[in-house]
Amino acid sequence: MTAFGIAPLAPDAAELPRRTLVETVPMADISAQLDELASHAIGLTRAEATRSSDTPDSLLKRAGAFDPAAAAFLRTDPLARRVFQGRAGKMVHLTADASGQVQKIVVRFPAEKVEQQGSHFTRLTIARDGAQFSARTETAPLQAQVALGSGTIRSSLFAATDDANIPDAIASQMADMFSGDIDFHRELRKGDRFSIVYEMLTADGEPITWDGGVGRLLAGEFTNNGKTYSAVYFKDSATGKASFYGFDGQSKRRAFLSSPMEFSRITSGFAMRFHPIMQTWRQHNGVDYGAPTGTAVRSVGDGTVEVAGWQNGFGNVVQVRHSGDRSTVYAHLSKIDVKKGQRVEQGQRIGAVGSTGWATGPHLHFEFRVGGRHVDPRAIARASEAVTLPNYAKAQFQQTVASVKTQLAVAETMDGVSAAD
Ligand SMILES: [Zn+2]
């Protein structure tokens, strides 16, 4: 991603945009403009993200700079070298003069201390002073901004969230928010729609691009197969506990999740290759989820591990006993992460998808049994008991719902900009 003239809405004046060049400028005018810019000693700032293959030379070149001295500094200075250490995706703002000489490089990336990474970032500033360069780092707080998004499912959830520029982590939180209502692996329909309100974390006013740097999903509305579900993130100020609730005040947390795998870009792509008709639980007492070997498998409810080992046909299998004489079975695992007799919580990882036992390819075979009899897992997830918000929190909750309803209504109008039907 290269953007000429993009500058962050930075709080400090030194970072404010200096000039914006628009792509449609006629060729003949560019040199005149550059001369003018040079005569005013105005720098051109380019935004870039680091790549894992980057070297000082490749990064400078991509950012429109040619500066062997700057490249040498990036190679040798202990602070400057951090641009190329660790994970890619660091946000680079490089300011060069008209001849391509580096004036300043500001690089933003996750805070050094792990416990600060959800709230702070590192700002590395490399500045030219005559023929020399200097580098310094600071730790600064991330800022949360409220963002709105909406979309319509045409091929997959992630295609729709990509179109709406919604980060993957927020898409996953959306699947989690409605995981008691919709099995995103199996029940998404073309034409399903969603609107969401979420927190976007920014560093110096710019949405951060590195992994894991995503805020919280605050509210959402999802229409699946003609039925609309709504939810809001709400923190009970008395207990400090936060959870997703329906607009009616019922907790979205159910005794059982609708899917034994977290919904992700990887599992969603895989699931699309399976024909839904072939997936009915009646045919073999379970539900099969196609997913790559190694995909995490989670317990759909709290319980105790009853079986963790090898069984003919099932291969590596885990069986979890839940309250009310209910149990769940997870088969063909490549790896088992729990032991017999162990307590597990809802959502806890118990193993990984594989193709052990009688399996033609990597998939998870999942069963739900009540009193030893097989039942349709989806029916169980829906019917399972929900928690209602305590009375004292209701007034505050109603206020929250009223404000997110307004935001969701605005978000909804944003879809259709790219709608083709
Ligand atoms: Zn199966």
Q: What is the pLDDT of residues 51-93, one digit of tens each?
A: 999 999 999 999 989 999 999 999 999 999 999 998 888 999 9
Distance 287 CA to ligand 1 centre (A): 6
Q: Across residues 236-251, what is the average pLDDT?
A: 85
Distance 366 CA to ligand 1 centre (A): 7
Distance 224 CA to ligand 1 centre (A): 25
For the chain, what is the largest distance between any 2 Cα atoms, rounded to a whole number of angstroms? 83
Residue linked to tokens 């196609």: 290
Distance 143 CA to ligand 1 centre (A): 46
Q: What confidence tier does 7 reach under pLDDT thresholds 50, 70, 90?
A: very low
Q: Report the candidate in 106, 103, 97 with the shortest Cα–Cα distance to residue 34.
A: 97
Structural contact between residues 352 and 295, judged by C-beta atoms closer than 8 angstroms: yes
Residue 15 has a pLDDT of: 39
What is the token pair recorded at 310?
């090898």
Distance 301 CA to ligand 1 centre (A): 20
Distance 380 CA to ligand 1 centre (A): 18
Residue 298 has a pLDDT of: 95
Distance 128 CA to ligand 1 centre (A): 63
Distance 318 CA to ligand 1 centre (A): 14
Distance 316 CA to ligand 1 centre (A): 13
Distance 319 CA to ligand 1 centre (A): 14
Q: Near ion ligand 1, which residues have CB within 5 Å?
A: 286, 288, 365
Residue 29 has a pLDDT of: 57
Distance 260 CA to ligand 1 centre (A): 13
Q: What confidence tier does 2 reach under pLDDT thresholds 50, 70, 90?
A: very low
Measure the CA–CA gap between 134 and 102, rounded to whole angstroms.
12
Higher-pLDDT residue of 14 and 50 is: 50
What is the token pair recorded at 178?
């409605």
Q: What confidence tier does 138 reach under pLDDT thresholds 50, 70, 90?
A: very high
Residue 271 has a pLDDT of: 45
Distance 385 CA to ligand 1 centre (A): 27
Distance 288 CA to ligand 1 centre (A): 5
